[in-house]
């Protein structure tokens, strides 16, 4: 916008026409990065032209708002990138999220222009909203910054989980087919249904061992009784004095009687049968041991293969670490190392502050000339709007009153026309009656 000023020089030449730039408003800023950034900050360039000194301030404010949008886009890109999403979806999704956050921050900042500063309640509310947005934006970036340590922790945790799972399977499924000594935690998940378990052979061997032990016990009792009887007969024959002994040396009646009773006991004790049972039990145990060795080897191999298959399936079921896995790993790292806990919280706080920066900057800066101009412009807009509404209201009310009067006039005219038509019709009828009377009178006079 320029103005033409005519000045008269000192010479006698013609008047010289000089163009000079007006002081206010200044020449509008050309389209460029600065104007785009101010547009992001919600600035009206036509008003800012009256305070061009503040263009740089609002350019920087627009850059701060743009930074929050870019940070949000980067956060979404990092978050979705951890799930191996196609770039055809990843990039548009990240840009869309960045645009949403940028629009939201732009709304927060633009609403503060021309208000003369934010009240405490408004500032707290908008800061709380910015903090929530900052948490959403900051977390993926935080996980990305500690990505190496987080994935190391996840791998370590998963390796420990696999090791615990494998050891539980081995404890709950002994290779020898026996029942687990410690059955705590051996639920159906850790119980393998492996065919060919040597349990029946173990039960048969246990039964044979019980038979063997019983036969041994019976034989030992019979041998003890035989030894006692033989010892008693020997003492009697040797003339040993004692309870129930005669004390006579030689093969007397008592000696022969005791020896006879001993032989009779040997014959009736069934020791030979017990010995046959013992030999049969030992033979049976030996046969079971041979079968058990072969069955145990096969079963052990099957159990080992089943455990390996379960472990491999467990590893395969562990997908690529997700957001919850990474959060859990970061929490575990923070619990193990105070430095990691301190740094992660510090970075999280810093990222939240960056997202809250547009509102904080607007709160910390004094009201600008642009704010005053915009406030006065809004006041004028309100007055103009009020006057316009009043003018429109009065005009429309007048039009309605005129229309009402016109309607009333039209009604009166139509009524008068109807009355006039009625009078004309009555006059015509009276004329017809008079004509008929006159005609009748002529006829009567003619007849006379």
Residue 9 has pLDDT above 60, yes or no: no
Q: Is residue 8 domain-resident?
A: no
Same domain (yes/no): 37, 133: yes
CA gap 403, 395 in Å, rounded: 12
Rg (CA), the chain: 58
> Which range, of 59-63, 98-102, 370-374, averages the lowest pLDDT?
370-374
pLDDT number for residue 17 = 53
What's the pLDDT tens digit per position in 283-292?
A: 888 887 887 7
Separation of CA 214 from chain center: 67
For the chain, the residue count is 448
Q: Ranked by mean pLDDT, which of 75-89, 230-244, 268-282, 393-407 comes out on top?
A: 393-407
Give the contacts of 71 (CB within 8 A, at least 6 positions apart).
137, 141, 351, 354, 355
The predicted structure's pLDDT at residue 1: 45
Which is more confident, 5 or 351?
351
Name the pLDDT band for 2 (thresholds 50, 70, 90): very low
Provide the residue range defining the domain that includes 67: 28-145+337-373
Residue 83: pLDDT above 80?
no
Contact criterion met (CB below 8 Å) for 106 and 40: yes
When pLDDT is averaged across residues 192-214 and rounded to a whole number, the result is 78
* Averaged pLDDT of the chain: 79
Average pLDDT over every residue of 377-383: 85
Do 243 and 113 fall into the same domain?
Answer: no
List residues bridging with 306 in a β-sheet: none
Question: Is a pLDDT exceeding 60 seen at residue 24?
Answer: yes
pLDDT tens digits, one per residue of 336-354: 878 777 877 887 787 777 7
> How many angstroms separate the CA atoms of 278 and 218, rounded?
10
Boundary (domain end) residue, out of 292, 324, 356: 324
The phi and psi torsions of 6 (rounded to 5 degrees) equal -100, 125
Q: Tell me the average pLDDT across 365-389.
A: 83
What pLDDT score was predicted for residue 404?
92
pLDDT at position 143 over 70? yes
Q: Is 58 within 8 Å of 48 (Cβ atoms)?
A: yes
Q: Which helix (H) or strand (E) holds 358?
A: helix 338-364
Q: Looking at residue 3, what is its pLDDT?
A: 46
Q: pLDDT class for 405, splitting at 50, 70, 90? A: very high
Query: What stretches of 176-239 adopt beta strand conformation (E)?
Result: none
Highest averaged pLDDT of the listed ranges 74-78, 97-101, 372-376, 396-400: 396-400
Residues 309 and 192 in one domain: yes
Same domain flag for 188 and 58: no
d(CA 339, CA 217): 71
Are residues 228 and 141 part of one domain? no
Phi/psi at 282 (5° precision): -60, -40
Cα dihedral sign, 139-140-146-147? positive
Residue 245 has pLDDT above 50, yes or no: yes
- The predicted pLDDT at position 407 comes to 92
Residue 36 counted as domain residue: yes
Which stretch of DSSP H or E encloses residue 93? Answer: helix 87-110
387 within some domain = no
Is the pLDDT at 7 greater than 50? The verdict is no
pTM of the model: 0.51
> Quick check: 18 pLDDT over 60?
no
What are 256-274's pLDDT values in tens digits? Answer: 787 888 888 888 888 888 8
Please say whether the beta carbons of 133 and 101 come within 8 A: yes
- What element of type H or E holds 282? helix 271-317
Residue 86, judged by CB atoms within 10 A of its CB (0-12, 13-18, 19+), counts as exposed
Question: Total domain count for the chain?
Answer: 2
Mean pLDDT of 410-415: 91
Query: Is pLDDT at 130 greater than 60 in this prediction?
Result: yes
pLDDT given for residue 298 in this prediction:
77
| Interval 246-257: pLDDT, tens | 777 777 777 878
Residues 307 and 176 placed together within one structural domain of the fold = yes
Based on the domain organization, do 365 and 272 belong to the same domain?
no
Distance CA 174, CA 61 (A): 70
Q: Which residue has the higher pLDDT, 412 or 171?
A: 412
**For residue 82, is it within any domain?**
yes
Residues 211-237: what's their mean pLDDT?
85
pLDDT at 208: 86
- Pair 264, 350 in one domain: no
Q: How far apart are CA 176 and CA 199, in angstroms?
A: 9
Is the Cα dihedral 286, 287, 291, 292 positive or negative? negative
Of 215, 210, 211, residue with least CA distance to 270? 215
User: Is the pLDDT confidence value at 117 over 60?
Assistant: no
Q: So what's the pLDDT on residue 406? A: 93
The answer, yes or no, to whether residue 278 has pLDDT greater than 80, is yes
With respect to residue 120, please indicate whether it lies within any of the assigned structural domains: yes
Q: What pLDDT score was predicted for residue 334?
A: 80
Burial 386-406 (b: 16+ CB within 10 A, else e): eeeeeeeeeeeeeeeeeeeee
CA distance 10 to 16: 11
DSSP string over 57-88: HHHHHHHHHHHHHHHHHHHHHHHHHTTT--HH
**pLDDT, mean of residues 368-382:** 82
**Residue 363 is assigned to a structural domain of this protein:** yes
**Do 180 and 311 have their domain in common?**
yes
Report for 64-78, 396-410, 433-447: range of highest mean pLDDT: 396-410
- Whether residues 166 and 140 share a domain: the answer is no
Q: Is 200 a member of any domain?
A: yes
Judge if 47 and 132 occupy the same domain: yes
Question: Which pLDDT score is estimated for 122?
Answer: 65
CB-hemisphere CA count at 13 Å for 339?
2
**pLDDT above 90: percentage of residues in the chain:** 4
Mean pLDDT of 10-28: 58
**pLDDT > 50? residue 8:** no
Q: Which pLDDT score, from 0 to 100, does residue 410 have?
A: 92
- Annotate 139-187 with three-state secondary structure: HHHHHHHCHHHHHHHHHHHHHHHHHHHHHHHHHHCCCCCCCCCCCCCCC
- Same domain, yes or no, for 210 and 103? no
Cα distances from 49 to residues 37, 39, 45, 149, 340, in angstroms, run 16, 14, 6, 52, 50
Residue 441's Cβ-count burial label (10 Å; 0-12, 13-18, 19+) is exposed
121 within domain boundaries:
yes
């Amino acid at each position: 916008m320029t103005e033409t000023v005519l000045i008269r020089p000192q010479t006698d030449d013609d008047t010289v026409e000089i163009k000079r730039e007006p002081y206010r408003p200044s020449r509008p800023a050309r389209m460029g990065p600065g104007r785009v950034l101010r547009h992001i900050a919600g600035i009206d360039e036509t008003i800012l032209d009256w305070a061009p000194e503040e263009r740089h301030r609002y350019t920087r404010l627009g850059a701060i708002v743009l930074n929050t949008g870019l940070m949000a886009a980067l956060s979404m890109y990092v978050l979705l990138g951890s799930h191996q999403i196609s770039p055809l979806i990843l990039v548009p999704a990240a840009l869309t999220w960045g645009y949403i956050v940028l629009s939201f921050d732009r709304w927060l900042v633009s609403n503060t222009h021309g208000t003369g500063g934010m009240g405490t309640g408004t500032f707290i509310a908008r800061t709380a909203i910015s903090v929530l947005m900052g948490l959403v934006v900051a977390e993926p970036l935080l996980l990305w910054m500690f990505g190496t340590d987080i994935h190391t922790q996840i791998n370590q945790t998963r390796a420990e989980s696999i090791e615990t799972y494998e050891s539980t399977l081995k404890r709950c499924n002994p290779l020898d087919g026996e029942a687990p000594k410690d059955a705590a935690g051996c639920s159906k998940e850790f119980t393998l249904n492996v065919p060919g378990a040597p349990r029946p052979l173990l039960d048969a061997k246990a039964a044979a061992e019980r038979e063997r032990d019983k036969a041994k016990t019976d034989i030992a009792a019979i041998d003890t009784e035989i030894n006692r009887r033989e010892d008693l007969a020997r003492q009697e024959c040797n003339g040993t004095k004692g309870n129930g002994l005669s004390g006579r040396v030689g093969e007397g009646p008592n000696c022969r009687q005791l020896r006879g009773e001993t032989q009779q006991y040997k014959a009736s004790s069934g020791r030979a049968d017990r010995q046959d049972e013992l030999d049969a039990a030992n033979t049976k145990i030996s046969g079971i041991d041979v079968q058990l060795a072969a069955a145990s080897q096969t079963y052990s191999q099957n159990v080992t293969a089943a455990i390996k298959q379960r472990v491999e399936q467990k590893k395969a079921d562990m997908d690529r670490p997700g957001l919850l896995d990474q959060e859990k790993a970061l929490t575990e790292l923070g619990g193990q190392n105070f430095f990691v806990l301190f740094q992660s919280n510090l970075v999280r706080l810093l990222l939240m502050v960056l997202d809250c920066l547009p509102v904080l900057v607007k709160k910390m800066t004094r009201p600008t000339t642009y704010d005053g101009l915009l406030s006065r412009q809004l006041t004028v807009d309100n007055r103009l709007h009020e006057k316009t509404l009043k003018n429109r209201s009065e005009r429309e009310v007048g039009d309605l009153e005129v229309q009402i009067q016109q309607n009333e006039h039209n009604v009166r005219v139509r009524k008068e026309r109807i009355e006039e038509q009625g009078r004309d019709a009555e006059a015509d009828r009276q004329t017809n009656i008079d004509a008929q009377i006159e005609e009748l009178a002529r006829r009567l006079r003619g007849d006379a």
